[in-house]
Structure 1
Amino acid sequence: MPLTARAPLRLRKACASSLRPALRRVAPGMGAALGGAVLASGVASVLPGTSALLAAIALGVVAGNVGLLPGWAGPGLALAARVPLRLGIVLLGLQLSLPQLAALGWGIPALAAAVVSTGVVASLAMGRLLSVPPRQALLIACGFSICGAAAVAGVESVVRADEEETVTAVALVVLFGTLMIPALPLVAAALGLGAEVSAVWAGASVHEVAQVVAVSGALGGGALGLAVTVKLARVLMLAPVAAILGWRMRRDGAAEGRRRPPLVPLFVLGFVALVLVGSVAQVPDGVRAGAQTLQTFLLATAMFALGAGVRIRSLARRGGRSLVLAVGSTLAVGAVGLAGALIVA
């Protein structure tokens, strides 16, 4: 065999031999995260109204704190907390339709922009007053104001937050978003709000899309479609917020001589691309449904991995100020959402 023909073969063997140790290193943790997502999906299907994402992060927290996940699962869990989460965010874009948002009039996009901008600014201001570390405060601000764990992931990759800051923000998003599922319908009933106003308020205030769906189920009637549409208008704000933060990080990095991050993370561009596809193309309902199922599974995989990194003792020890910030952020977003719902609904 000629030398030129043998060279590519040797190159392929060398690549394969170098990949095997890496795959062996990440396989246990990735397998655990996938198994956790399967179990969480089963829990969600058995218990109506339960979010697979909530079940996944709860299972991850339990597994990580009772010693079910040995140290050698760490590399795979770290990978599972990043890659599936980003892929899930990309697929989330296919659930958005710009014409559908436009059909609701100017009020809904304006409300989404007001909730996100006011929520982020107010949360950062409270974070400074509480002496919460700036990156931690930013993750909480974006997670509570935009779209929960997906926003935390989008911002984390831009500002280069550490794992504990990311896990803390995700845990708080899950905790407070879950508390809002029974709380918002009760408060709406006490205030005598109509179904439409309550649905807009839920979409404008609750953190995760899955949590909005759960709240809408408690509200009843035709709340689901309106609440989810309003929520997706907030999700759409992830791209401009990530771009603004990326621009600031690039500017600061250039001033300090550090390597500058990309203006917009690649997965956020993928998210925007699928928003455009879903808006201009006639995507079959079956494709959208399949993408949503895969998106939920990918996010559940990431939530299990992130939950496995939560150390309850550490969270309790350093999370007091972050917990207070989460309360303030929830109240700020909820107040703006309610005021906007009374105006536009």
Structure 2
Amino acid sequence: MTSQLSGSLSAKQRFVAPVVRLAPGLLVCATVAIAAQFLSDHYGAPAMLMALLLGMAFHFLAQEGPSASGVAFTSRSVLRFGVALLGARISAELMMDLGAETIALIVLAVVATILFGLLAARLLGRGWRLAVLTGGSVAICGASAAMAIAAVLPRNAQSERNLIFTVVGVTALSTVAMIVYPIVTAGFAMDDREAGIFIGATIHDVAQVVGAGFSISEPAGETATLVKLMRVTLLAPLVLLLSLSLRSLATDASGKRPPLVPGFVLGFILLAGLNSLNLIPEVLAATFVDLSRWALLLGIVAVGMKTSLKSLKDVGAAAIVLIVAETLFIALFVAGGLHLLG
């Protein structure tokens, strides 16, 4: 009896101890994320950018003390959980609605942008990690893609700095594009479908795609949203390919290699598959999407806390040129593809 009671207490301690250890950091990240969302809701600023900037202001909390382990957990595990839940947005039906030519254009634009990023980074004297991170973020879905790709890239001293720079860069460029691209589509006399495809295939973040698309017309907004979700669908194959090809270069803290397929990628694929088969009720899918948004917001707060402004300024002008060049490249590529398709 005594041994059973002792075993029960030991099990409870094993459960409670990690919760107590992680709780301060999780609560801090949640508080900052709520503040970022409040600023976004009331002042129209991008929530991800606000979360990042506010997180960086609390950099000292990630260095040492009771919050450090919780912040580290949030920047890694909570962030990956949010990426996995993105799969609930995806279904085979939305891809079929776009048509084969549009899907082919999107896939080619994504692949070409990443390859262009690798070439441009080489010419600018920057590393391939930054090229893959910025190129994948520009090509697919902005900050969400940056966080997913960063999770499988081999880590070095610049990993967190590069992630912060990429999130700031794609968010800022998305905001500019949301204003400029509707003017561009009007200048080139694009119809609603063409404008929607261009907007959805070139702007980095989902919120800005929706804003730009519906500022043109409702049909353009609906098309832009579908095209954007198609780009999000390509996140899992890209991360899976990176994980498999770079696995030999990556090790965890104990020196072991990561799993063959990251768990969050499997979660993304599983949810996308279930949603494609209509096995996830709409209410539950909407809940998953909301959870994903909040988990990613908490994750980016934690990443911000782990990065100092001093390290961010060391990224250099070449990195700025790289991400701007990638953004212009995908816009020109998609515009050229639409012209060829008539």
**TM-score w.r.t. structure 1 length?**
0.87
2:121 aligned partner: 127
Greater shift in the superposed pair: 123-132 or 259-268? 259-268
**2:220 aligned with 1:223, yes or no?**
yes
**Residue in 1 that maps onto 2:10:** 14
Using a 3 Å threshold, how does the CA distance of structure 1 residues 152 and 11 change in structure 2: closer, same or farther? farther
Over aligned residues, Cα RMSD in angstroms?
Answer: 2.6
* 1:295 Cα deviation from its structure 2 partner: 1.7
- Of 95, 102, 114, the residue aligned with 1:101 is 95
Q: Which of 295, 311, 330 is the equivalent residue of 2:292?
A: 295
How far apart are 1:288 and its partner, in Å?
2.6
Q: CA–CA distance in 2 between the matches of 1:138 and 1:234?
A: 16
Once the two structures are superposed, the pairs formed by residues 1-345 of structure 1 within 5 Å of their partners are 1=1, 6-7=3-4, 9-17=5-13, 22-47=18-43, 50-61=45-56, 63-64=57-58, 71-72=64-65, 73-161=67-155, 162-250=159-247, 259-281=256-278, 283-343=280-340
The answer on whether the counterparts of 1:64 and 1:310 sit within 8 Å (CA) in structure 2 is: no
Cα distance change of structure 1 residues 287 and 344 upon mapping to structure 2, 3 Å threshold: farther
- Retained in 2: the 8 A contact 1:91–1:292? yes
1:320 to partner: Cα distance: 2.0
Name the CA distance, whole Å, in 1 between partners of 2:79 and 2:33.
Answer: 12
**What is the total number of aligned residue pairs between the two structures?**
335
CA contact under 8 A between 2:88 and 2:272: conserved in structure 1? yes
| Conserved? CA contact 1:249–1:260, under 8 Å | no
- Give 1:166's aligned amino acid: L
Aligned counterparts of 1:284 and 1:160: Cα–Cα separation in 2: 37
Residue by residue over 1:40-85, the C-alpha shift from the partner in whole angstroms, topping out at 9 and shown as x without a partner, is 222333345x443233223323x236x6877433332222122222
Distance 2:106 2:313 in 1: 32
**Amino acid in the other structure paired with 1:140:** T
Question: 1:250–1:315: structure 2 CA closer, same or farther, 3 Å change rule?
Answer: closer
Q: Describe the SS at the equivalent of 1:132.
A: coil
Change in CA separation of 1:56 and 1:214 when aligned onto 2, cut-off 3 Å: farther
Q: 1:285 to 1:59 in 2, by over 3 A?
A: same
Aligned mates of 2:31, 2:337 — CA distance in 1: 41
The separation in 2 between residues aligned to 1:309 and 1:171, in whole angstroms, is 15
User: Which has the larger displacement, 183-192 or 33-42?
Assistant: 183-192
By how many angstroms is 1:252 displaced?
6.0
Distance 2:264 2:249 in 1: 22
- Deviation of 1:99 after TM superposition, in Å, equals 1.8
Residue identity opposite 1:327 in structure 2: V
AA aligned to 2:53 is A
Q: Is there any run of 5+ residues in structure 2 with no aligned partner, and where? A: none
Percent of paired sites with the same residue: 29
Q: CA deviation at 1:235?
A: 1.2
SS of corresponding position for 1:262: coil
**Alpha-carbon displacement from aligned partner over 1:201-245 (angstroms, at most 9, x marks no partner):** 111111122221222233333222211111111111122212222
| Letter paired with 2:27 | G
Give the C-alpha shift of residue 326 in structure 1.
Answer: 0.6
Tell me which amino acid in the other structure corresponds to 1:215: A
Residues of 2 paired with 1:335 and 1:11: CA distance?
A: 65
Write out per-residue CA displacement over residues 25-52 of structure 1, whole angstroms, 9 at most, x where no aligned residue.
Answer: 432221111112222222333345x443
Cα distance in 1 for residues equivalent to 2:50 and 2:322: 24
Larger CA deviation: 70-79 vs 147-156: 70-79
TM-score normalised over the length of structure 2: 0.87
Paired residues of 1:249 and 1:261 also in contact (CA < 8 A): no
The 1:185/1:71 distance shift into structure 2, 3 A limit, reads farther
My pick for the range that moved more, 260-269 or 94-103, is: 260-269
Compared with structure 1, are the counterparts of its residues 313 and 219 closer, same or farther at alpha carbon in structure 2 (3 Å cutoff)? Answer: farther
CA contact (8 A) 1:85 1:302 kept: yes
Moved more, 333-342 or 318-327: 333-342
- With over 3 angstroms needed to count, the CA separation of the structure-2 counterparts of 1:224 and 1:310, relative to structure 1, is farther
**Structure 1 residues 97 and 160, CA gap change in structure 2 (3 angstroms):** same
